[in-house]
Amino acid sequence: SPRSFQPSGASEEALRCEIKELKRKDLALDQEIAQLLSEGYSLEELDKHISLLHEYNEIKDVGQMLLGKLAVIRGVTTKQLYPEYDLELSD
C-alpha cells in the first residue's frame, strides 16, 4: 500500500524558512505599496505599471531568445551581437 509523504525534519525546517522569507517579502511589498500610495500613486496606476513591466519582460525574453538563436547560427556569442544591434550589455 502507498505510504503518505512524511517530510523529513530538514525539509520541514526548509519549508518553515521559506514561508518565513515569503512572509517577510510580502510585508516589504505591502510597505512599498503603502509608500507609493502615500506619494500620490493610485492603485490603477500601479497595476498599469506592473502590467507594462510584465509585457516589457516578455518582449525582452523573446529578444534574448532570438539573439541566442542567431548567435548559434553565426557561431558567435550573444554578447558579440550586442554592438551590431546597438544594444548595451546592461540591456
49-86 pLDDT, tens digit per residue, is: 899 999 999 999 999 999 999 999 999 999 999 999 88
Split at pLDDT 50, 70, 90, the class of 1 is: very low
Number of domains comprising the chain = 2
Residue 56 lies inside a defined structural domain of this protein: yes
Rounded to whole angstroms, how far apart are CA atoms 74 and 81?
A: 10
Assess whether 64 and 85 both reside in one domain. Answer: yes
Give 81: exposed, middle or buried? Use CB within 10 Å, 0-12, 13-18, 19+. middle
Domain interval for residue 18: 8-41
For the cut 90, the answer to whether the pLDDT of residue 7 exceeds it is no
Question: pTM for this one?
Answer: 0.53
